Amino acid sequence: MILIKDRVEELVIFFKPYIGNERQTRDFINKFENISDEKNNAWLMLNQTERLISLGEAIHDKVKPRDSILVLFLIICAEAVAKLYHNFQGEGGSLSYTKLFFTEFCEPEDLKILEGKLSTRKINSVEKKNLSADDIINYFYRIRCSVVHEGVYWEFDFKGSDKNTIYGVPTYKNKEIIYAEIDYKTFRDIVIKGAIMAINRYVEDDKNNCNATY
């Protein structure tokens, strides 16, 4: 595989904060130049992670919608990485592979960061419910589906956005208020670190990652 110089530079800039210094990051990326065809999915995972997350940020910066767009591309990235890791070539299984990404590739301490970072309160109620890490992943997946299938992209903001409290859920059912105590960078970091873990495992695993069904 011949690595295109401009593409390498883009990848270095994106992954450097997570790999280490520039030399370490270049070494990490350059090893894909001699990767075998059997391990090519690792290269695809690397590129898809940068492209999907950067695309979401570019759209968000240009259009300046609510943060549902950012959630959409992070969840799509998680699903894509998990499917590539398991050589999935079928259709469907989006939620299963999304959840598999977080349980299989994300560090337990990173998932623990998510605990209680979103809470809900029913309309006309004063009681708030803190969501578990698994509940938060499910909620973010619902946002992904809402944007993709219904075009609803205005019902969530990360902490630090202009509005931290949003009304309604993507399905328009069970109307509730969502309180976000997690910022975009925190969730972005969790996804990118998980993707790097998957890439390294895929390259280093001597076993053939056979097709999986979840």
Q: What are the pLDDT digits (tens) for 12-23?
A: 999 999 998 999
pLDDT of residue 163: 53
pLDDT of residue 150: 85
Long-range contacts: 90-93, Cβ < 8 Å, 24+? 90/211, 90/213, 93/213, 93/214
pLDDT of residue 2: 55
pLDDT of residue 206: 54
Q: How far is CA 83 from CA 16, 86, 124, 177, 207, in A?
A: 24, 5, 41, 33, 17
DSSP annotation of 39 reads: G
pLDDT of residue 171: 36
CA distance 126 to 122: 8
Q: Are 94 and 85 in contact (CB under 8 A)?
A: no
The values of phi and psi at residue 26, to 5°, are -65, -40
CA distance 178 to 124: 13
Q: Mark the ranges of the chain whose per-residue pLDDT is less than 70.
A: 1-4, 161-174, 206-214
CB-based contacts of 6, cutoff 8 Å, min separation 6: none
